Amino acid sequence: MTVKINAKKLGIKAPVEVKESNRNFLKILKIQKQMLKVQTLSEDASDEDLLTTTIESNEAVIDFITDILRLDSKHADKLMDLSTEETGELMQQIILKLQHQDPEELNEAQADEAEEQLTETEKK
């Protein structure tokens, strides 16, 4: 089974079909693990640690999208020209579609998490 990914921002007119395979599922887990590293950096982490982790995460996201969409060099170059927000949205679209998650449910969960973090900050 495959899912279709809208990659028009990369200059690809037709949706890219991505196979729902164990290989791609493992790629999703690895990128989520990498993104978790950024989120879990402690407040007392050094600037160097923060930059290193951020660079590694950005490179991992670009590699993930390039690999999972099987981009040629022309389209991989267009990916490099996207904003980090656009790149994140494309990554999120890929993950949501391959995991059959509803974007609305994800937005609600993120809002709940943000509210919980705000409450914890207020307690401090």
Q: Write the DSSP string, 14-41.
A: SPEEEE--HHHHHHHHHHHHHHHHHHT-
Are the CB atoms for 12 and 75 separated by under 8 Å?
Answer: yes
pLDDT of residue 102: 72
pLDDT digits (tens, 9 = 90+) for 76-101: 999 999 999 999 999 999 999 999 88
CA distance 52 to 73: 26
Determine the structural domain holding residue 33 and report its residue range: 2-123
Q: Which one-letter DSSP state was computed for residue 10?
A: G
The mean pLDDT of 91-120, rounded to a whole number, is 72
- What is the CA 79 to chain-centroid distance, rounded? 13
Number of compact structural domains in the chain: 1
